[in-house]
């Protein structure tokens, strides 16, 4: 019969590395900023104009 994993191996396998933690923080920050930017932009531009602007910007970035 197999032995149950020790507490030491449980702890080490459940921790995220520094790179993964940093990636999650950066991704969450970008998503959070996106929501704030949309809320601010809604005061000055209609949503269709915002979508068009994002598409044009994304297309330009892909061409670079």
Answer yes or no: is 28 within a domain: yes
Residue 6: per-residue pLDDT: 62
- Are 41 and 50 within 8 A, CB to CB? yes
**8-64 pLDDT tens trace:** 555 566 788 999 999 999 999 999 998 898 889 899 989 899 999 999 999 999 999
Answer yes or no: is 9 within a domain: no
For the chain, what is the domain count? 1
Answer yes or no: is 2 within a domain: no
Question: 48: burial class by Cβ within 10 Å (0-12, 13-18, 19+)?
Answer: exposed
Residue 37: per-residue pLDDT: 87
Query: Which domain covers residue 25, as residue numbers?
Result: 18-63
């Amino acid at each position: 019969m197999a032995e149950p994993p020790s507490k030491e191996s449980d702890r080490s396998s459940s921790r995220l590395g520094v790179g993964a933690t940093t990636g999650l923080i950066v991704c969450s920050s970008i998503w959070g900023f996106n929501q704030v930017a949309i809320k601010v932009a809604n005061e000055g531009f209609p949503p269709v104009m915002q979508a068009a602007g994002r598409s044009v910007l994304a297309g330009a970035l892909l061409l670079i």
